[in-house]
Amino acid sequence: MYDFEARHMIEALRSGVPSRAVGQYFSEARPRIMKEISDRLDLVCDQGKSNGMIISGKYGEGKTHLLNTVFNLAHSNNMVVSYLSLSKETPMDKLYLVYQKIMQNTYLPRRQQPGFMHEVEKISSNTPIASEMLLYSAKHLETDKLYYLFRSYLNTEDSDEKFLLQADMEGDFIANASLRKIYRRIFSQPAKYNVNFTKTRHCADYFSFMSHLFTQMGYHGWVILIDETELIGRLGKKARLNAYRSMARFLLPDLCPENTCSLFALSASYIEDVIEGKHEYENLEELYPQEQEPAKTVLDLMVKAPQLLPLTRDEINEVLRKIQDFHGKAYGWTPNLPIAALADATQSGGYLLRTKIRAAIEFLDQLYQYGKAGKTTVNELGEETFTEDVPSLEDYE
């Protein structure tokens, strides 16, 4: 009898692509750093104290897996989670593009698919949450654009207008003139901005608005997970420094949106390759001699970021034990291998955790298919044969 959830797990591990499901079932490793992250989530849930941190690690040592583990932990704490991998299309120096991508990848607790507007649509104009959000957007943001936008959203009955206003909240910003036109049509009065909104300067208002909205909707906080942070190193000099300024809005408590915890995953080589190799501190002093903060503090946090150490032998054995269990459930058999034998089989997989996992799965595949496992070759008939005498499944029983 096959277990399709276990089959999905094995195939995800085989592909080497981290997933939320893998993060859910392989979450015991690295207890020290997970304790620190858990404490940071508790600060948000229990005390409303926003915070952020950076973790670093070598390629293939589990940074993305750790983010997926935090994803599941946050959802179990009734927190909204957003997951973003930086890319050429979503560079950290352009906060409005980051916001749009984050909104596209925002998951409410216990939801497998992203999206939150279906819950926002339930808010009517005469509810306490509507009144609170209008007051907040009018008084506590740098501009009051979102006041006019959200009030229009709550009161329009035109489906096209509703769609445009909703898209704006998700990061597809509409022109100021279009919003003014909609507002005047609904309320027969002009929308007079206290500051003229531009997405390049005022996008932080949207993060603040959304974090307050999630809190008012009853969630315990907002966790923002950002992977591939090292891609900042591919930007030009000025763009990199601007990216560090953007990161500060997620990392420094006095700049963070309310009730948020942000976690950046960074390659361990970034310090040597970029911060030292491209002389980031000198660049900052050259381009912004009078206003090095908050970029300088972010650079300090990168340099001091806790690094994921290779798993201990006991931690690796626990991972292998779970892989063996899932493989048996996935294909309806009972491996019952000594973990030491499975650990020996991963030695040829190199030092990276993900290659060790693949080697373990390949070893189990061979035992399942052929009853024995080892090096193979293909003969002249196209048949896969073992190159030497290797142990069989019976040898382990």
pLDDT digits (tens, 9 = 90+) for 37-68: 999 999 999 999 999 999 999 887 788 889 98
What is the extent of the structural domain holding 350? 313-396
Quick one: pLDDT at residue 377? 47
Distances (CA, A) of 279 to 94, 167, 284: 22, 40, 9
| Residues 129 and 104 reside in one and the same domain | no
| Residues 236 and 274 reside in one and the same domain | yes
Question: 72: domain CATH number?
Answer: 3.40.50
Q: Please report, to the nearest 10 degrees, the dihedral formed by the alpha carbons of residues 65, 71, 73, 78 taken in order.
A: 180
214 domain residue, yes or no: no
- Structural domain ending residue among the three candidates 303, 335, 359: 303
| Residues 104 and 224 reside in one and the same domain | yes
Where does the pLDDT of residue 31 fall: very low under 50, low under 70, confident under 90, or very high at 90 and above?
confident
133 domain residue, yes or no: yes
How many distinct structural domains can be found in the chain?
3
| pLDDT > 70 fraction of the chain, expressed in percent and rounded | 88
Distances (CA, A) of 165 to 119, 159, 162, 277, 352: 15, 10, 5, 45, 47
Quick one: pLDDT at residue 385? 54
Q: Which of 96-105, 242-251, 276-285, 335-344 has the lowest mean pLDDT?
A: 335-344
Distances (CA, A) of 19 to 24, 224, 307, 315: 9, 16, 21, 19
98 domain residue, yes or no: yes
Where does the pLDDT of residue 357 fall: very low under 50, low under 70, confident under 90, or very high at 90 and above?
confident
- Phi and psi (nearest 5°) for 3? -105, 110
| Residues 131 and 83 reside in one and the same domain | no
